[in-house]
């Protein structure tokens, strides 16, 4: 099976053939609210995700994550692990590069971004 088979396709809850799927992540190995875990995820994000999602998740080639609603923990874990394709945009699967523990650190960081309001910076 090729790398493309790992990519979640379509909108949340659907794959390419239109079948509905439930995004279910394994049990978290970290405390997703622990500031140390969030900082560790932030370091990974800065090195691998910011190119597409922007510094601090402000958007770019990939979607904005800062202040974004509806990003469930399961959805984030599965999307980071398996990748995602929406139209002409795609995100690679990171499960070949990161351990589940590192993916959970990323989930913690992205959750912290999503919780931030979109207030203009001063």
- Structural domains of the chain in order of their starting residue, each with its CATH number: 29-114 (1.10.760.10)
**Count of CB atoms within 10 A of residue 118's CB?**
9
**pLDDT tens string 57-114:** 999 898 999 998 888 999 999 999 999 887 778 899 999 999 999 999 999 999 999 8
Paired tokens of 91: 């995100």
31, 55, 112 from 28: Cα distances, Å = 8, 25, 16
Instruction: State pTM to two decimals.
Output: 0.77
How far is it, in rounded angstroms, from Cα 40 to Cα 74? 19
């Amino acid at each position: 099976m090729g790398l493309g088979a790992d990519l979640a396709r379509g909108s949340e809850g659907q794959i390419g053939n239109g079948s509905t799927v439930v995004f279910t992540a394994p049990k978290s190995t970290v405390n997703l609210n622990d500031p140390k875990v969030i900082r560790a995820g932030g370091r990974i994000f800065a090195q691998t995700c910011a190119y597409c999602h922007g510094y601090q998740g402000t958007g770019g080639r990939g979607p904005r994550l800062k202040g974004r609603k509806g990003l469930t923990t399961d959805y984030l874990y599965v999307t980071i692990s398996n990748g995602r394709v929406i139209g002409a945009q795609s995100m690679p699967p990171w499960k070949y590069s990161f351990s589940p523990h590192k993916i959970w650190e990323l989930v913690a960081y992205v959750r912290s971004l999503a919780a931030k309001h979109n207030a203009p910076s001063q």
